[in-house]
Amino acid sequence: MGRASRADAAAHREQVVIAAARLFRERGVHGVSLSDLMADVGLTHGGFYRQFASKEALAAEAAAAALDERGREMLGFTERNPDDHTAARREMLDDYLSPEHRDDPGTGCPTTALAGEVAREGADSALRATYTEGVRGFVLKLADFDDDPTDRDHQITTLCTMVGALMLSRATAGDPISDEILDAAKRLLATPTQSTVD
């Protein structure tokens, strides 16, 4: 395979991963056929197996890409507010618990979008392993938004509240309670924990 062909193959592979990360968040892994996925990027269905061992392998890779993307977004909040945990936390919550995030799952948090799907995966699933590692990473990143980065219980409950509120808000979209859920969770989570270290 020539250099141009290898470069084309790598570019096509990346296109498929990006499209899968979006489509799987929008419709779930089992809600997207390989034909739909490949048509979305303008490639043939037959080309899929030259790039990926299976749809399951792609699902794990797409989830990892989406989780990395969310991690970079989280880093941006703290970089813009390096000495103010409260401001970084508010900016992060304003983004995460927003109607825009609720209404665009394809570019949103994979932790929320894939939770139901992953819960139905087997214990040995590559998607489950990738997702679980992503949840661990999300908890660690939330420590950057607290004055007491050692309060792991607070970081875990923050994650649970964010993800749960976004899931419920999506499930009730179109009804006023959807916005109420986002607003109530945002108010509850707006203040970071205070350091207990003297």
CB atoms within 10 A of CB 80: 11
Q: Which helix (H) or strand (E) holds 16?
A: helix 3-27
For 108-162, the pLDDT digits (tens) are 999 999 999 999 999 999 999 999 999 999 999 999 998 889 999 999 999 999 9
For 60-98, the pLDDT digits (tens) are 999 999 999 999 999 999 999 999 989 999 999 999 999
- pLDDT number for residue 198: 42
In a domain, 36, yes or no: no
Q: Which residues contact 126 (CB under 8 A, 6 or more apart)?
A: 56, 57, 59, 60
Angstrom distance (rounded) from CA 96 to CA 109: 8
User: By residue range, what is the domain housing residue 185?
Assistant: 56-189
- pLDDT number for residue 197: 47
Whole-model pTM?
Answer: 0.89
In a domain, 73, yes or no: yes
Angstrom distance (rounded) from CA 154 to CA 142: 9
In a domain, 50, yes or no: no
For 12-70, the pLDDT digits (tens) are 899 999 999 999 999 999 999 999 999 999 888 777 888 899 999 999 999 999 999 99
For 5-18, the pLDDT digits (tens) are 778 778 889 999 99
In a domain, 29, yes or no: no
> Looking at the 3D structure of the chain, how many domains does it have?
1
Angstrom distance (rounded) from CA 41 to CA 62: 14
